[in-house]
Amino acid sequence: MHSVRPVLIGIAGDSGAGKSSLVAQLAKLLGNDRVSVIELDGYHSLNRQERKAVNITALHPRANNLGLFIDHLYRLRRGEKVLRPVYNHDTGDFDDPVWVEPRPYVIVEGLHPFLFQVAADMYDLKIYYDTHEELKVRWKILRDATARGYTVEEVLAEIRKRQWDIRNFVEPQLAMADTVVKLFPLEDERPDAVGVEFKEPADNPWLKEKLEQISEISVQPKRDWIGGREFLSLSFSQAMPVSTAHVLLEHMGPRGGAILGKITHAPFVMPYQLALAILASRLEAIRQELDATFEGRGRSVVG
């Protein structure tokens, strides 16, 4: 293939981890018209009523038409558009499908974006979006007990019920990720303050290597083991002066500084804002690299 293909990004994580907010913010930073989003929940193979009838949760792969999803991922990578199914969380059933164009960035977010190796190998970046249990419970109660009309007890019971499936069908993706982004609660005066931990495979630590090039920042990565694979963990739990963040982001990718400028005009950057900027800059860098590859191929074909 000599035409430009999308950068494919997979974001895996439990429901309630905050994936959709992350995706919306990333899309805004990259340019909404340059991003297509696939919500994997659309590929449920059974609606809510049918899942009840056979007593399985939506977390189980067999409650999902992942064959169709893998085919769509494959086609998007080849630059084709696909008609993706849409699941409606309010009705528990399906809405009309929608066309997804192969825009410069295609972000897939859901429970099983890279559970299977064949899918994992198609992405340019695989992010596992992990959120500390305490934050997840807090957010889920906030959403489901207010917007969706459940009691706090019901929400907690639901969380417990899903644990087995999460361990078996969502968390195995941790070991496949290029980067794990974990939000954790801070003991801060503000209750919504969160810290961010990046975990990267020790044999391919993108962020760690970038940080080492910057004298303003001293990194002390911790070691971690996930699914038999060594990871390095880098933690951000404090506000960072915007000047330091600027140096950092200029190292990250071609538009790092510009991206930071879109995020804040304050003199300090909070950990979550920094994480957003780092991810967006990394994606811009991948896009640029891909364009260069295709240009190079184009030239060698022509002359």
Residue numbers of the site for a copy of itself (CB under 8 A)? 45-46, 50, 53-54, 61-71, 73-75, 112, 115-119, 121
Nearer to a copy of itself, 172 or 261 (CB): 172
Q: Choose between 25 and 57: whose C-beta lies nearer to a copy of itself.
A: 57
Minimum distance, C-beta of residue 83 to a copy of itself, in the bound complex (Å): 14
Q: Least distance in Å: CB of 23 to a copy of itself?
A: 22
* Long-range pairs of 192-196 with CB within 8 A, sequence gap ≥ 24: 193/270, 194/135, 194/271, 194/272, 195/235, 195/236, 195/237, 195/271, 196/235, 196/236, 196/237, 196/271, 196/272, 196/274, 196/275
Instruction: For the CB of residue 204, give the shortest distance to a copy of itself in the complex, in Å.
Output: 20
Give the Å distances, CA to CA, from 230 to 90, 104, 131, 177, 209.
Answer: 40, 32, 20, 12, 16
Indicate the residue among 43 and 198 with the shorter CB distance to a copy of itself: 43
- 113 vs 195 by CB, closer to a copy of itself: 113
Instruction: Compute CA distances 115 → 18, 132, 228, whole Å.
Output: 19, 21, 16
CB of 255 to a copy of itself, least distance (A): 33
Q: Which is nearer to a copy of itself, 38 or 270 (CB)?
A: 38
Closest contact distance (angstroms) between CB of 229 and a copy of itself is 18
Nearest approach, Cβ of 92 to a copy of itself (angstroms)?
A: 14
* 6 vs 205 by CB, closer to a copy of itself: 6
Q: Minimum Å distance from CB 157 to a copy of itself?
A: 24
CB neighbour list of residue 274: distance below 8 Å, 6 or more residues apart: 196, 236, 240, 245, 248
CA separation for the pair 113, 134 (Å, rounded): 24
CB atoms within 10 A of CB 274: 23
Q: Which is nearer to a copy of itself, 10 or 257 (CB)?
A: 10
Question: Residue 124 corresponds to which tokens in the numbers above?
Answer: 């340019």
How many CB atoms are closer than 10 A to CB 2? 9
Specify the 3-state DSSP secondary structure of 132.
coil
